[in-house]
Amino acid sequence: MKLLQKKLSNYDAAQKVKEAGVYPYFRVIESDQDTEVIINGKKVLMFGSNSYLGLTSHPKVKEAAIAATLKYGTGCAGSRFLNGTLDLHIELEKKLAAFVGKEDAIIYSTGFQVNMGVVPALTGREDYLIYDELDHASIMAGKQLSFSKVFKFKHNDMESLEKVLQKCEPDKVKLIVVDGVFSMEGDIIKLPKVVELAKKYDANVYVDEAHSFGVLGNHGRGVCNHFGLTGDVDVIMGTFSKSLASIGGFVAADELVIDFLRHNSRSYIFSASATPSATAAALAALEIMQQEPERIQRLWDVTYFALDGFRSLGFEIGHTETPIIPLYIRDNEKTFMITKMLFDEGIFVNPVVSPAVPSSDTLIRFSLMATHTREQVAVALDKIGKCAKILGIL
């Protein structure tokens, strides 16, 4: 056995979970991504999706993707920098920039590539990169590629953020990078205070709107719009794989920042451009977001219903205020077990276990879509409550 294979053979965490019969990953879906999916020929209620507005099956979105494929083909065969720019890409960029209230925008092939390519590009060796300790993994990947001086602050703790800012040289660039809504915890960044501190210490602010776009703000414009702080935030990032029912991502800012990124962001320059179908689907979804604000209202209706239900059952749900509801189990084994029990009961949820979080913070992530009904949520509440009691969680 070669050294690499010998080293990797020591990894047995997944195998142990498989042997225990509670392995919860790579469950194969045989239908569209809706409130109900088919897995192994069985109907399962889906509460593990990020399709907050439920648009992945919308006829207009599917028709737009098909039409773009017929017109442009299946791919662009190159990067945006060279041969891979379509008029469709430019149209989406202009509409996204206008929608979030910035001068310009560029789109990437995935949301992960946005953070991985933008975060290290904006600051240099003499600058400071400051991030929340629970920022998304894509921000962490970008941070690891940065040559800047990197500091983290405690999650949503503004005293911790200020202490970090006080350590920075006043005449150097300081970029604060935060999630708008945190993807596992469901809580909202304290953006007004972040902006206040940024002004006090002459720092710039970068907000990842992946889980707030389509959820918060006027017509789903995101957390920056929600707080009325779009003009005070320098860089706004978003993804297509959540509310925009596609795959890809974007970054919006003033023209100077975007022009720099067009020529210096490596994951943009050296990746094949977003496919015609993905771009057209995101365009269609963006249009629906603006034409059907009642979708967002329905999302919040089922969210409040679910939040009240879980609190009534006695679940610990942390500080969530959004359609992402963490149900803290605080035990690795029980987290796997309840996920399996719920799947057997026809409820799909996602487990979050160590090493992604400390074993004392494990949880199941329950997420909602605008297309969920109260009746579906009530079924889930009943079954989750029963399984939790069997395991001694409640």
211 is catalytic: yes
79 is catalytic: no
Residue 53, in any domain of the structure: no
The number of folded domains in the chain is: 2
Residue 52, in any domain of the structure: no
In a shared domain, residues 232 and 351: no
In a shared domain, residues 197 and 325: no
Give the model's pLDDT for residue 1.
Answer: 86
In a shared domain, residues 85 and 42: no
In a shared domain, residues 95 and 228: yes
2 is catalytic: no
In a shared domain, residues 278 and 297: no
In a shared domain, residues 159 and 287: yes
Residue 9, in any domain of the structure: no
Helix ranges (DSSP H) in 21-136:
59-72, 87-100, 111-122
**Final residue in a domain of this structure, among 235, 257, 291:** 291
Asked if pLDDT for residue 70 goes beyond 90, the answer is yes
What CATH number should be reported for the domain holding residue 139? 3.40.640.10
pLDDT bin (cut points 50, 70, 90) of residue 58 is very high
In a shared domain, residues 155 and 174: yes
Distances (CA, A) of 381 to 20, 62, 322, 353, 374: 26, 32, 17, 21, 10
pLDDT bin (cut points 50, 70, 90) of residue 354 is confident
Q: CB–CB of 25/17 below 8 Å?
A: no
Per the structure, the complete domain to which residue 272 belongs is given by 59-291
**Final residue in a domain of this structure, among 252, 270, 291:** 291
Distances (CA, A) of 269 to 97, 108, 249, 252, 294: 20, 9, 14, 17, 38
Give the model's pLDDT for residue 37.
Answer: 97
**pLDDT (average), residues 371-394:** 97
Count CB neighbours of 146 within 10 A: 18
In a shared domain, residues 231 and 323: no
Which member of 51, 183, 273, 277 is catalytic? 183
Which member of 143, 242, 340, 372 is catalytic? 242
In a shared domain, residues 191 and 339: no
In a shared domain, residues 298 and 283: no
**Strands laid side by side in the 42-46 sheet:** 36-39, 42-46, 347-348
Residue 11, in any domain of the structure: no
Residue 1, in any domain of the structure: no
Residue 257, in any domain of the structure: yes
Asked if pLDDT for residue 96 goes beyond 80, the answer is yes
Q: CB–CB of 109/84 below 8 Å?
A: no
Which of helix, strand or coil describes residue 182? coil
Give the model's pLDDT for residue 369.
Answer: 98
pLDDT tens string 97-134: 999 999 999 999 999 999 999 999 999 999 999 999 99
Which member of 102, 136, 149, 211 is catalytic? 211
In a shared domain, residues 36 and 79: no
**Final residue in a domain of this structure, among 241, 262, 291:** 291
Give the model's pLDDT for residue 357.
Answer: 79
pLDDT tens string 13-53: 899 999 999 999 999 999 999 999 999 999 999 999 999 99
In a shared domain, residues 325 and 235: no
d(CA 289, CA 105): 18
Residue 51, in any domain of the structure: no
Asked if pLDDT for residue 356 goes beyond 80, the answer is no
Residues of the chain with pLDDT > 90: what percent? 97
Residue-averaged pLDDT of the chain:
97
pLDDT bin (cut points 50, 70, 90) of residue 358 is confident
Residue 124, in any domain of the structure: yes
Asked if pLDDT for residue 355 goes beyond 80, the answer is no
What CATH number should be reported for the domain holding residue 353? 3.90.1150.10
Gyration radius (Cα) of the chain, Å: 21
Q: What is the DSSP string of 331-392?
A: -HHHHHHHHHHHHHTTEE-EEE-TTTS-GGG-EEEEE--TT--HHHHHHHHHHHHHHHHHTT
**pLDDT (average), residues 204-226:** 98
**pLDDT (average), residues 51-59:** 97
